[in-house]
Chain A
Amino acid sequence: QVQLQQWGAGLLKSSETLSLTCAVYGGSFSGYFWGWIRQPPGKGLEWIGDIDHTGTANYNPSLKSRVTISVDTSKTQFSLKLSSVTAADTAVYYCARSRVSGVDNWGQGTLVTVSS
């Protein structure tokens, strides 16, 4: 049974860098994409990007200039960095396991609030 456990700072100021990490417990780390998805309070879901075990990453063009997703296969962890945050980046951030069929495992979510 795969479990995703995520952590990171929940309160940031404008212009700071958001940093979250997700650890994968159980199951294989290869053969999947490991992604980040966010959800502003009361709103819908937005795909931020994902990465595979080789380090091949895909980013949403709307965020690409500010996003870096990295992977540490030795620790079966992957991380998200989003620079120059503003209030518009306030959201619940989820880490997730993505297969060809869809996102079949999610982290517990982290509410990140950006204050001015």
Chain B
Amino acid sequence: EIVLTQSPATLSLSPGERATLSCRASQSVSRYLAWYRQKPGQAPRLLIYDASNRATGIPARFSGSGSGTDFTLTISSLEPEDFAVYYCQQRSNWPLTFGGGTKVEIK
């Protein structure tokens, strides 16, 4: 099973600031990595797929990069709705797995 490790566990930032989230895989997942945002009490929402492609309706402030074992999600300027938990997920190997999450909180 591929283990995804996200860091940091918590990121304290202010609205308008830039957020950089990391996801590291225990073995190569090529570019088969997705990112999700989960607001409290809601289901996750797909943000990025295949490492760097924005999903339908996702604003340009979200960008993804990386390949192999190291990936980054960047939010260029935090909006109020971006204070949430973010998960990465790999589809390279079965079982599909998620990272433990990064909480982006208001500083």
Binding site for B on A (CB under 8 A): 44-47, 58-62, 94, 96, 100-104, 106-109
Interchain residue pairs with CB less than 8 A apart (24): A44-B99, A45-B44, A45-B89, A45-B98, A47-B97, A58-B94, A58-B95, A59-B95, A60-B95, A61-B1, A94-B43, A101-B34, A101-B50, A102-B36, A102-B55, A103-B34, A103-B36, A103-B46, A103-B89, A104-B46, A104-B56, A106-B43, A106-B45, A109-B43
Binding site for A on B (CB under 8 A): 1, 34, 36, 43-46, 49-50, 53, 55-56, 87, 89, 91, 94-101
Chain B minimum-CB-distance residue to A95: B43
* CB-based contact B36/A62 at 8 Å: no
Compute how far the CA of A54 lies from the CA of B50 in the bound complex, rounded to whole angstroms.
26
* CB-based contact B53/A47 at 8 Å: no
For B56, list chain A residues within 8 Å (CB).
104
Shortest C-beta distance, A63 to chain B (Å), equals 9
For B100, list chain A residues within 8 Å (CB).
44
Compute how far the CA of A60 lies from the CA of B93 in the bound complex, rounded to whole angstroms.
11
Compute how far the CA of A37 lies from the CA of B52 in the bound complex, rounded to whole angstroms.
23
Q: Which 3 A-B pairs have the closest CB atoms?
A: A106-B43, A101-B49, A102-B34
Chain A minimum-CB-distance residue to B96: A47
For B94, list chain A residues within 8 Å (CB).
58
Compute how far the CA of A26 lies from the CA of B87 in the bound complex, rounded to whole angstroms.
27
Compute how far the CA of A107 lies from the CA of B44 in the bound complex, rounded to whole angstroms.
10
* CB-based contact B55/A104 at 8 Å: yes
For A102, list chain B residues within 8 Å (CB).
34, 36, 46, 49, 55, 89, 91
Compute how far the CA of A60 lies from the CA of B98 in the bound complex, rounded to whole angstroms.
12
Chain A minimum-CB-distance residue to B94: A58
Chain B minimum-CB-distance residue to A35: B96
Q: Which one of A94, A101, A107 contacts B55 once the chains associate, using CB atoms below 8 Å?
A: A101
